[in-house]
Structure 1
Amino acid sequence: MAKNNERNLNVTIKNQDDNKDEVIISISAIMKKLKKFLAVWIVIAVIAGLLTFCYSAYKTFSTQYPTKALVSFTYSGIEKGLDPKGQDFEIESMKNPKVIEKALTEMGLDLSRIEGIRSSLSFDYKIPQEAYDQLTAYQSVLDKATSGSISAAQAMLDTKYYPSQFTVKFDLAQAGFDRQTGVDFLNTLLRCYGEYFYEEYGYNKPLGTAVNALEYESYDYAQQVDLFRSSLRIVRNYLADLNKDDNTSFRSSVTGYTFNDLSDYAKTITSIDLDRISSYISVNNVTKDKDSALAYYNYMIENLNRDKSEYSERLAALDASITKYQKDTIQVFGNGTKDTNPESTLHSEQYDLLFQQKVTVEASLAQAKQDINFYTSRRDALQNNKNSSKANVEKVEADIAELSKKVKNLVDLTEKTASDYYENVQFANAYNILVPATRSESASLGQAASASTKTIVIVELLIFVIYFAVAFISSLISENSKKTAKAAADDDDGDSEDVDLEELVDILEDEAEKAENTKKKN
């Protein structure tokens, strides 16, 4: 019966003025046509999907999408947005022309590309979820804060997040690189930036420049000694800073020295070699030009007296500021505070800074006083004695030449030891390439599939609409052709009765089915 019902489910659009304008739409006929064209539709849909994917893949492979890499920084200070020197950190330093020039040189590419590459590099970062949650919580505290705790809430809100991981994007099309060359260049650039980073923040170029005394021969002997004394003082201060930062008792595998070893070496050169030469020059009045030497001593004494006055004034101002400084006060409330002082004072960062400045100025003032006494004794000795003999001059020149070798060796050992320390301890993981740039085939196919999904859906929907429309129109033509043929047959027979042959066939089938069911029951 279900089959008969389906067959008889028709929709008739009838014009009331003329029965000949009837249009019959049979659902069963449409379903038959859909089944008839099903295989054709499937074949066309599959072919169209493959062609669409191939076209999208071609566009993906031919289009120069930006390539990306991920880098991170993990040194002390990056969490505050600072570089190792304590200044604001800028990831844009990766665009430094020196870095790009070095990468281009290593790859043998034209240096005229520098500006195009700089404009093709961009950077992005993402705030980790835990940092975002913390900042959101601080905002909630500020919104709910009462007037008594608004300053504390505002202090929490002032907390900022500074990224330590950055995505480096390189627009290949804008830079004029093909895919493979562009990827290779970006990876080379990232490596060259690592070398630049260590040279800028970890190596010792400023130290080498500060202690460079290769041209000491052009000065008088006393001035030569002063040059070496200043250089040794710089080295010792530098080693003291390194030793203060080092909490690993670092011993270099390159030189075999610790920072304390080198500091002791510098003290030995100063107290034995340098002081011996200096005293010999003073006692024997070794000079190239007595008048010039006296003028130099007078100038140094006058300049040091000015420094002494300046340091004394700064020290007095700092002492006054520290004495008058109002320390932060906190109130303590709660159980057990009845018999105790509920107030407590805290030293702020500003107070600590003032105290550190005082210590520094005191050290500078003491050094200035020592230097004044030193140059005064030199001047007085030179004024009261005659010039030294040629033998004394030759001895001083030989001793200073030997001193120069020792200072140069000390500087070299210090630079190598410090570089080893920065590379393998202090900045061992300061800069890392977490994910290098890559353009593997699987990644490109994935991008092609992702890019083609929307297009494939649209194409398949369009094909399905066409498939359904063809089935619908075909069934419509078929059904109305039957109607026309039936009407013509009725006219030829002259039959005046409106007999629906199809209905008659259905009735006969129903009667046959009923008879069959009755037979089965019996």
Structure 2
Amino acid sequence: MAKNNERNLNVTIKNQEDNKDEVIISISAILKNLKRYLAIWIVIAIIAGLLTFSFSAIKTFSAKTPAKALVSFTYTGIEKGLDPKGRKFEIETMKNPKVIEKALTKMGMDLKKIEDIRTSLSFDYKIPQDAYDQLTAYNSVMDKATSGSLSAAQAMLDTKYYPTQFTVKFDFGKAGLDRQNGVDFLNTLLKCYGEYFYEEYGYNEPLGTAVKTADYETYDYAQQVDLFRNSLRTVKTYLDNLAKDDTTTFRSSATGYTFSDLSDYTKTITGIDLDRISSYITVNNVTKDKDSTLAYYNYRIENLKRDKDEYAERLAAIESSIASYEKDVVQVFGNGIDDTEKKQTVHSEQYDALFKQKTSVETILAQTKQDIDFYTSRRDALQNNKASSKANVDKVEADIADLSKKVEKLVDLTEQTASDYYENVQFANAYNILVPATKSVGAGLSQAASESVKTIVIVELLIFVIYLAAAFIAALKSENTKKPVKAGADDDDDDDEDVDLEELVDIIEEEAEKAEKQTNVKKNKKK
């Protein structure tokens, strides 16, 4: 039978003190055992992965893990951490009891849960990588800044990042709700906050309420005219500010008016209706109580004079500040070739703010002086004439009632137009619910999968290590149960020959000597 010359790669660990203590590890034997246990490993790995995922899914659906949603803000100023009114923005305003109460009312839930829900809401945000890289770069520039560019580097270092996206977390289990009601409530709360946002930063609702709810009939006729005059001034100022901020010449689809249209309408009511009633009252001395009205005029004149003195002092202080204000100095350095340096003075934001204050105070002071003259003429006319007839009183009351309806209509048009503008133009994308909370099975499975990935990886790695260890140990046992093969002996029943390095050298030398002897014998026979 032909000798099998195939040899397998073996690793022999030999004890030098005792040649008989040997541990033989065959790589081929390990590979054979890996192949042998491959199917078992795959089955066990699949079963373990499914069991781990199932456990995570059961835990997700049974445990009351907080519901989550993602919201964003994209209006001018949020990048500086400010709200639309220029104040510090706080996402915690979503916990406002008014917002929670409105959401509870829409859900038909007990309002006693307001405090439990407030304590169950939390917020989180993450700085985007590009913003983080930018801030890191600014710090690097600051570290390397030279004395000549220190101020510029410091300005960059002062740059801060303010988040624009927030994760809203609602621990509905803590609030005493189940998953379905908890998710529904969170989504309702997010919508109610959007309504609160537009009401808070959009149309000035208290303005309209104050104008429309003024119980003018309890006052004398001259005082009624003053109430409407103040209301119309307030509405006109509000409309003029909106028209100034509006760069799109917005025309409301709800009312068909622009802010300038409504401002002109306000001016018309003031200049025609209100002034006509006011002059009629003054000329005909229409009053409910002459003495009371004269006392009112005197009181108003004295107050206006004090206001005039206050505004005059304030104007003088602002003008003095402007005159003594030191403008900012900007240093322009050379390009490195020369040591030339240029300086230039520029206006700062504080300097511009002083001029705005000056203009505002001048306007108020002028208006105050006009009011003093107006009330003085009223007082003098009433003192020198008798009270009016009943017919004149009836006419004034009818005219004021008609004026009240026009003012109320103006306020309603202003409210609708402003709300339309803020919701569809100014704040069209100011507040967005990017990812609402969900209670769907698919979302639950997705959450279970994401939460179980790490566990599955650890379990699968552990099973793989056990798989390798089992193959290694099986190979070790099978190889070391075999008897060592003597030098020169043939064993056709076993393909492996386990020898160490010294025995291999001895075998080669013996075979070489045998071959040499056989060659010499053949030569002698030929001779």
TM-score by length of 1: 0.82
- What is the alpha-carbon distance in structure 2 between the residues aligned to residue 139 and residue 258 of structure 1? 48
Is 1:291 aligned to 2:274, yes or no?
Answer: no
2:459 aligned partner:
456
- Offset at 1:369? 0.6
Name the counterpart of 2:490: 507
Q: Which residue of the partner structure matches residue 112 of structure 1?
A: 112
The answer for the alignment partner of 1:433 in structure 2 is 433
Q: Does 1:63 align with 2:63?
A: yes
Note closer, same or farther for the CA distance 1:471–1:506 as it changes in structure 2 (3 Å cut).
same
Look up the match of 1:180: 180
Equivalent residue runs for 1:36-75 within 5 Å: 40=40, 43-75=43-75
Q: Which has the larger share of helix? A: 1
8 Å Cα contact 1:121/1:171 also seen in 2 = yes
Deviation, 1:50, is 3.5
Aligned mates of 1:25, 1:467 — CA distance in 2: 16
What's 2:169 paired with?
A: 169
2-structure distance, mates of 1:8, 1:414: 93
Cα RMSD (Å): 3.5
Label 1:462 to 1:404 Cα distance change in 2 as closer, same or farther (>3 A). Answer: same
SS across alignment from 1:509:
coil
User: Runs of 5+ in structure 2 lacking a partner?
Assistant: 496-527
CA contact (8 A) 1:61 1:444 kept: no
Write out per-residue CA displacement over residues 330-357 of structure 1, whole angstroms, 9 at most, x where no aligned residue: 345669xx9xx95432111111111111
Instruction: Give the 3-state SS of the residue equivalent to 1:169 in structure 2.
Output: strand
* CA deviation map 1:130-179 (0-9, x unaligned): 33333233323322333343233222222222222222223344334433
Pairing 1:253–2:266 present:
no
Equivalent AA in structure 1 for residue 467 of structure 2:
F
Q: Does the Cα contact within 8 Å between 1:49 and 1:460 map onto a contact in 2?
A: no
Deviates most, 166-175 or 375-384 = 166-175
CA, structure 1 residues 278+463, in 2 after alignment: closer, same or farther (shift >3 Å)? same
Aligned mates of 1:271, 1:445 — CA distance in 2: 69
CA shift in 2, pair 1:386/1:167, >3 Å: same
SS at match of 1:161: coil
Asked if the contact 1:71/1:168 (under 8 Å) is kept, the reply is yes
Structural mapping, 1:151-230, within 5 Å: 151-230=151-230
TM-score by length of 2: 0.82
CA shift in 2, pair 1:242/1:456, >3 Å: same
CA distance in 2 between counterparts of 1:381 and 1:48 reads 99
- TM superposition shift of 1:257: 1.0
Q: Show the counterpart of 2:369.
A: 369
For residue 231 of structure 2, what is the aligned residue in structure 1? Answer: 231
Specify which of 444, 450, 455 is matched with residue 447 of structure 2. Answer: 444
Range 148-157 or range 278-287, more displaced? 148-157
- Report the Cα distance in structure 2 between the residues aligned to 1:448 and 1:371, rounded to whole angstroms: 71
* Secondary structure of 2:492's aligned partner: helix
Q: Is 1:315 the counterpart of 2:315 in the alignment?
A: yes
Greater displacement, 1-10 / 67-76: 1-10
Match of residue 100 from structure 2: 100
CA deviations on 1:221-248 (whole Å, 9 max, x unpaired) are: 1000000000111011011001001111
The residue correspondences of 1:375-414 to structure 2 (distance < 5 A) are 375-414=375-414
Per-residue CA deviations over 1:90-138 (Å, capped at 9, x if unaligned) read 0111111221222222223333333232222222222233333332333
Matched-pair contact (CA < 8 Å) for 1:102–1:192: yes
Distance 1:52-1:471 versus aligned 2 partners, 3 A rule: farther
Contact 1:4 1:506 (8 Å CA) reproduced: no
Deviates more, 1:246-255 or 1:463-472: 463-472
Separation (CA, whole Å) in 2 of partners of 1:69 and 1:9? 60
Q: What's 1:497 paired with?
A: none
With 448-457 and 429-438 compared, the bigger mean Cα shift is at: 448-457
Q: Which amino acid aligns with 1:432?
A: N
- Judged with a 3 Å threshold, the aligned counterparts in structure 2 of structure 1 residues 8 and 236 are, in CA distance, closer, same or farther, namely closer
Structure 1: distance between partners of 2:364 and 2:232: 16
Is the CA contact (8 Å cut-off) linking 2:266 and 2:410 kept in structure 1? yes
Aligned residue identity for 1:54:
S
Given the superposition, is the C-alpha separation of residues 206 and 36 from structure 1 closer, same or farther in structure 2, using an over 3 Å criterion?
Answer: closer
Q: Which amino acid aligns with 2:170?
A: F
> Against the structure 1 CA distance between its residues 38 and 238, is the aligned structure 2 distance closer, same or farther, given a 3 Å change threshold?
closer
Partner of 1:304: 304
**1:141 to 1:373, Cα distance in 2 relative to 1, 3 A:** same
Greater mean deviation of Cα atoms: 376-385 or 173-182? 173-182
**Is there any run of 5+ residues in structure 1 with no aligned partner, and where?**
484-499, 513-522
Q: Distance in 1 between matches of 2:294 and 2:394?
A: 21
Partners of 2:134 and 2:56 in 1: how far apart? 43
Q: Secondary structure at the match of 1:123?
A: strand
Residue equivalent to 2:243: 243
Residue of structure 1 in register with 2:360 after alignment: 360
Distance 2:388 2:141 in 1: 80
Instruction: Tell me, yes or no, if the aligned pair for 2:331 and 2:344 is still in contact at 8 Å.
Output: yes
Q: 1:108 to 1:465 in 2, by over 3 A?
A: farther
Q: How many residues align?
A: 485
3-state secondary structure, aligned to 2:237: helix
- 3-state DSSP of counterpart to 1:329: strand
Residue by residue over 1:417-456, the C-alpha shift from the partner in whole angstroms, topping out at 9 and shown as x without a partner, is 1111111111111111122223552513532541432342
Question: Distance in 2 between the 1:411 and 1:34 partners?
Answer: 84
Amino acid at match of 2:200: E
Q: Does the CA-based 8 Å contact 1:29-1:479 persist in structure 2?
A: no
Cα distance change on mapping 1:421 and 1:11 into 2, 3 Å:
closer
AA matched with 1:129 = Q
Question: C-alpha distance in 2, partners of 1:343/1:14?
Answer: 88
What secondary structure, in the 3-state scheme, does the structure 1 residue paired with 2:302 have? helix
CA distance in 1, matches of 2:491, 2:202: 101
Separation in 2 of the partners of 1:349 and 1:221?
A: 46
Contact 1:14 1:23 in 2 (8 A): no
Range moving further from structure 2, 90-99 or 439-448: 439-448
Does the Cα contact within 8 Å between 1:142 and 1:157 map onto a contact in 2? yes
Say which is worse superposed, 356-365 or 114-123, in terms of deviation.
Answer: 114-123
